[in-house]
Structure 1
Amino acid sequence: MTKTIIDNPEFQGMLKHVLEEKIPFCHLLGIKLESFDPDHPQISIAMREQLLGNFSQGMLHGGVIASVLDSMAGFAILLKMAQQSPKDDVLSQMKEFSHMSTIDLRIDYLQPGRGKKFFATAEVTRLGKRVANVLMDLRNDSGDRIATGAAAFMLHTKSS
C-alpha cells in the first residue's frame, strides 16, 4: 500500500491540532478527530451541559448539531483534496483549509440529540474545481441517527 500525505503523522498531528485546538469554535464544541480515512472520515463530540438546547430533556442544541455537521463537511473535503490532489508538503496541504467556505448547508433533524457521545461522518459526493458537495450524518453512541445534512462548499482557487 502506497503511503500518502494523509498517512503522514505530521499532517495528521497538524490537522488534529488545528481542528481541535486552533479553531476556537471547534475547540468550544469539543470536536475530536476520530478517522483520517478520506472515504470514511469521522469526528466526535462528547455531551456536555454547555451543549444542551433543551436542558430539561438533556438534548443537544440544534445549532451544535448543525455546526458539527458543517465542520465534518469541511474536514471531509480537506481529506478528499489531500487524497486526490496532494501537495508537496504538509504546510501547503494544510493551507487548503483556508481556501474553502460553506455556501449552502441543509440539516434534517431526525430525532432528539440524546446521548453521551456523538459521531459525525461524511461523504464527499463531488469535488470540483470551484465547488464541493458533501453528505453528512450524525449518530449518538447507541448508533441512533440524530441528523443528516448536505452542504456545498466554495473552493477558492488562487489566481495565477
Structure 2
Amino acid sequence: MNKKEIYQQLANFWNNDMPFNQLVGFNITRFDNEHSEVRFQWQDKLIGNPMQKILHGGVTAAALDLVGGVVAAGNIIAHIEEPLTAETIQTSLRNLSTIDLRTDYLRPGRGEEFIATAKIIRSGSKVAVTRMELHNELGVHIAFGTGTYMVG
C-alpha cells in the first residue's frame, strides 16, 4: 500500500467513523504531508448567534483543529519507514494529539459551505506546528489559527 492510498483510507475513516465529524458534517477532501482540506455545509444546528445566524465559534475552532491535525498526521505518515502496515501506521498515529490551538476570528461565519485548509509550518520528531484558515464558498476569510500537535 502506498502513502496516497493510506491518506485516502484515513480520510475515509475520519469522515465515516468519527461520530463528532459526522455530527457536524466535516468532510476531509484533501490530505497529504504538506496540505489538508476539510469542507462542511451550513446547517442551522451550527448556529452560534441566532440573531445574526452565524457559525458557532466552537465549530470554527473544531474545523481548524481537525484540518491541522490531519496535515500533522500526513506528516507523520510521510516519515514512516517501509514497510507500511496497518500496525506501523496505527502505532505512529497513536500519540497524535492537540497541544495548543489558537483561533483568530476575523469575520462572522456566514456562508453555504466552509472550507478549512492547513499546511505544515514545522514538523519535528515530537511536535508539529500547522497554520490553518477557514473561508466560505465565496473566499471570504472567516478565521485563521495555529495548531501545535504532539506527533512523537
Once residues 37 and 50 of structure 1 are traced to their aligned partners in structure 2, the CA distance between those partners, rounded to angstroms, is: 30
User: CA shift at 1:28, angstroms?
Assistant: 1.3
Percent identity reads 33
Change (3 A) 1:94 1:119: farther
Deviates more, 1:56-65 or 1:37-46: 37-46
Gaps of 5+ in 2: none
Candidates 119, 142, 148, aligned match of 2:144:
148
Once residues 58 and 86 of structure 1 are traced to their aligned partners in structure 2, the CA distance between those partners, rounded to angstroms, is: 48
Q: Which residue matches 2:118?
A: 122
Change (3 A) 1:144 1:86: farther
Report SS of the residue matched to 1:105: strand
Once residues 57 and 104 of structure 2 are traced to their aligned partners in structure 1, the CA distance between those partners, rounded to angstroms, is: 10
Structural RMSD (CA): 1.8
- Give the TM-score taking structure 1 as reference length: 0.85
User: CA shift at 1:57, angstroms?
Assistant: 1.7
Check conservation: 1:5, 1:82, Cα contact below 8 A. no
Check conservation: 2:32, 2:74, Cα contact below 8 A. yes
User: CA shift at 1:16, angstroms?
Assistant: 2.3
Report SS of the residue matched to 2:89: helix
Change (3 A) 1:113 1:90: farther
Report SS of the residue matched to 1:89: coil
Q: Which residue matches 2:68?
A: 73
User: CA shift at 1:148, angstroms?
Assistant: 0.3
Candidates 16, 26, 31, aligned match of 2:21:
26
Change (3 A) 1:29 1:78: same
Deviates more, 1:91-100 or 1:55-64: 91-100
Q: Is 2:3 the counterpart of 1:6? A: yes
